[in-house]
């Protein structure tokens, strides 16, 4: 019985009898192409007019490698879930804070001042005060100072009006939008990378399972 060491699908085809029906085992063909394209090696024993016997890799080897790959897949799957949560958090940031602001006394203090103080309302509009983000600890101190300290308020209005930093955009909280956009872009990039890795690992697992069914030992 002739035995061969196989390192490519083309090499395997050349060892098979002429007119051999590869498509009789289409799933096996897919598994072989994938396994061999990734540097895998086969040891086969030929059978006349039939699929050769697979001597290596063995069932034990394939099952061990398959289990290792599943563990790695689980780690990547957990990372994918983490990045998806980060993406959703960034995407819902503004809508969430539009609700959270309603629980903040500072928001209602701002609204009351807007209603009774035209000068305060005008200053608030000039700097696009991020009152919708009052529940965010990053922006709450600014809003608090703006509401309660007229000197701080006037200085902020002057800074926004005159500083080159705000020449193109007068919003003091533009950074909040840029930060969420950056987080969404970063999350999307990581999500795509992890989905590709998971798809590759799934293909590895499927190939090893199919070869294990074929293996003789």
Judged by phi (left if over 0) then psi (alpha if -120 to 50, else beta), residue 49 lies in: left
Tell me the whole-structure pTM to 2 decimals.
0.79
In the chain, domain spans: 3-78+203-214, 87-185
pLDDT in tens, 186-205: 999 999 999 999 999 999 99
For residue 63, the model assigns a pLDDT of: 94
Closest CA to 93 of 153, 15, 182: 182
- Token pair of 208 as six digits: 């090893």
Contact 35, 211 (CB under 8 A): yes
For residue 101, the model assigns a pLDDT of: 96
pLDDT in tens, 135-164: 999 999 999 999 999 999 999 999 888 877
Render 6-45 in DSSP notation, one character per residue: E-SHHHHHHHSPTT--GGGGHHHHHHHHHHHHTT--EEEE
Confidence of residue 170 (pLDDT cuts 50, 70, 90): low
């Amino acid at each position: 019985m002739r035995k061969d060491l196989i390192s490519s699908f083309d090499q395997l085809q050349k060892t098979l009898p002429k007119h051999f029906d590869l498509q009789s085992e289409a799933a096996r063909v897919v598994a072989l192409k994938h396994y061999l394209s990734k540097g895998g090696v086969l040891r086969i024993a030929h059978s006349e007019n039939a699929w050769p016997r697979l001597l290596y890799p063995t069932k034990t080897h394939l099952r061990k490698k398959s289990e290792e790959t599943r563990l790695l897949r689980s780690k990547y799957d957990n990372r994918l879930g983490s990045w998806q949560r980060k993406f959703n958090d960034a995407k819902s940031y503004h809508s969430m804070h539009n609700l959270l602001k309603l629980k903040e006394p500072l928001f209602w203090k701002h609204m009351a001042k807007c209603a009774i103080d035209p000068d305060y309302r005008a200053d608030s509009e000039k700097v696009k005060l991020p009152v919708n983000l009052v529940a965010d600890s990053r922006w709450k101190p600014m809003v608090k100072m703006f509401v309660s300290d007229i000197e701080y308020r006037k200085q902020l209005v002057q800074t926004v009006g005159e500083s080159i930093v705000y020449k193109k955009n007068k919003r003091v909280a533009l950074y909040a939008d840029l930060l969420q956009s950056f987080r969404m872009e970063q999350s999307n990039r990581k999500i795509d990378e992890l989905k590709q890795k998971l798809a590759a690992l799934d293909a590895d697992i499927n190939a090893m399972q199919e070869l294990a069914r074929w293996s003789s030992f």
